[in-house]
Amino acid sequence: MLVMKFGGTSVANCEAITRTIAIVRSKLEQKPIVVVSALSKVTDLLYRISDQAALKNESETAELLEQLRSRHIGLAHDLMADYPSHCHEACLKINEICDRLESFVRAVCALGELSDRSKAVIISTGEYLSSNIICSAMNAYGIRTGFMDARSMIVTDREYLKGEPDSAAISARVPGVVAEAYSGNDAVITQGFVSATADGEPTVLGRGGSDYSASLIGMAVDASAIEIWTDVDGVRTADPRKVENTRCIEKISFEEAAEMAHFGAKVLHPLTIEPAVNKNIPIYVLNSMNPEGKGTVILQSSFIDDGVKSVSFKENILVINIFSTKMINTSGFLKKVFEIFSVNKVSVDLISTSEANISVTVDASQKITKVVEELSEFADVIVDENKSQISVIGKNIINLKGLLRQTFAPLADCKIYMISQGASYVNLSFVVDREVLTDAVRHIHKYLFEDESCN
Ligand code: ASP
Ligand code: MG
């Protein structure tokens, strides 16, 4: 079985969906399980709807809900103009989903209160709409397709907006649901991003979580491969929006991909890799606008050459500097510090320590007020804002001659606030001022990937 996940841009409109269905058709022999995101920008729209509802803005909310409905009804007509009965069936579904959402949102509006659970219901609607339309269109175009509700398969804890998947429960449920939906069909389809607790309460996997859905399903059915179809030609040596002359990477290891996804590369959801690694399932990152392209394949490390694969970055991070003389010559200080991060669910990226100081980086989107408060009870804490983190990622980079010179030579005039190299030798990371980030990444990329004379 082959898991094929199509992101928002691959299902954005009639043209994109037609292309996507052609791609699925070309792989029917491999028994595809299709996982779809919401149409491009629809999840953002649903976030706006939930925010406006919480503010009791009835007319604004109604207008946005109308946009949601008309975009999907319009799409169904575009896709199935020649298949009136399929179109009718899809429109019934769309109206049913939108009606249900509208009454739910009206209730939120009336109360002016939005729990995480209610928000999960609202923001997951996009995937139900897209998967229903695409399922009808596939059937209209002659691919017999079975529909699956992700809530019957993807089990998480009660963290409604960023559910933690329960691998054992997922592995137990998915094969049965897939087998049943497959009977008499050529393909099956389900929603990315959408999940539920063991007793069926709605949750979602967090922004960009459809990739994660795909790899969890891949794990559960022991898929031959997981394909992540997006709108770029695979994983690149750096973010092309910041850096010129980036190249597509043909293959990378699971470890390299995990580091890249975590440290800023936008191609894959950071948690996608793990379920696939555990079962050694290759993940392909492919471009639905260029299906003939080779893309990038993510494989076990033994198939991958040593060397730098990418320069990734996180643009907006905080550095938390913790100073305490109590740390000198004592044990257990680190435990005390990191317990605070753990209890407050703040995830740490880089760590560097000296005798009386610990510095850590965290993503600026995290709420650190409580952490700082609790640390301040026994240490001096200074938080540096407007910093960025750059990571040079590649297998066994420690063995590369001159890597440090090549990485830091172009930064001779920049301040480097922290440096950290993990023991896995996959990642060399450091912190710079946010204002120099773009230049720094461009220069390093040039040195490492373009300019032979620098090597
Ligand atoms: N639709 C969701 C989002 O935009 C999930 C996804 O596309 O991966 O975050
Ligand atoms: Mg995505």
Residue 208 beta carbon below 6 angstroms from any ligand 1 atom: yes
| pLDDT of res. 451 | 67
**Whole-angstrom distance, CA of residue 415 vs CA of residue 423:** 24
| pLDDT of res. 304 | 95
CATH architecture of the domain 309-454 equals 2-Layer Sandwich (3.30)
| pLDDT of res. 409 | 87
Backbone angles phi, psi at 227, to 5 degrees: -110, 125
Class of domain 2-231: alpha beta
Closest atom of ligand 1 to CA, residue 7? 7
Q: Mean pLDDT for each consecutive 10-residue tract of the chain (455 residues)?
A: 97 98 98 98 98 96 98 98 98 98 96 95 98 98 98 98 97 98 98 98 96 97 97 90 92 92 79 90 96 94 93 95 81 89 94 89 95 95 96 89 86 90 83 96 91 52
| pLDDT of res. 455 | 43
* Token pair recorded at residue 454: 């620098």
Residue 213 beta carbon below 6 angstroms from any ligand 1 atom: no
**Whole-angstrom distance, CA of residue 214 vs CA of residue 362:** 27
Question: Nearest 10 degrees: CA dihedral of 307, 427, 294, 5?
Answer: 160
* Residue type, position 180, single letter: E
* Token pair recorded at residue 442: 């461009």
**Whole-angstrom distance, CA of residue 200 vs CA of residue 192:** 16
Residues whose CB is less than 8 angstroms from the CB of residue 296 and which lie 6 or more positions away in sequence, other chains included: 234, 235, 248, 249, 250, 251, 252, 284, 285
Cα within 13 Å of Cα(129), Cβ side: 35
Angle between helices 116-123 and 125-140 (to 10 degrees): 20
Closest atom of ligand 1 to CA, residue 269? 8
C-alpha distance from residue 374 to each of 174, 175, 213 (Å): 43, 46, 36
Q: Estimate the share of the chain in helix, then strand, then coil, as percent rounded to the nearest 5.
A: 45, 25, 30
Domain ranges of the chain: 2-231, 309-454
**Whole-angstrom distance, CA of residue 209 vs CA of residue 229:** 14
**Whole-angstrom distance, CA of residue 131 vs CA of residue 190:** 6
**Whole-angstrom distance, CA of residue 260 vs CA of residue 263:** 5
**Whole-angstrom distance, CA of residue 152 vs CA of residue 173:** 8
| pLDDT of res. 452 | 57
Residue 210 beta carbon below 6 angstroms from any ligand 1 atom: yes
Residues whose CB is less than 8 angstroms from the CB of residue 302 and which lie 6 or more positions away in sequence, other chains included: none
| pLDDT of res. 454 | 43
Residue 202 beta carbon below 6 angstroms from any ligand 1 atom: no
C-alpha distance from residue 303 to each of 297, 298, 300, 407 (Å): 11, 10, 6, 26
How close is the Cα of 52 to the center of ligand 1, in Å?
20
Pocket test for ligand 1, best of 6, 35, 37, 47 (most atoms within 8 A of CB): 37
| pLDDT of res. 379 | 93
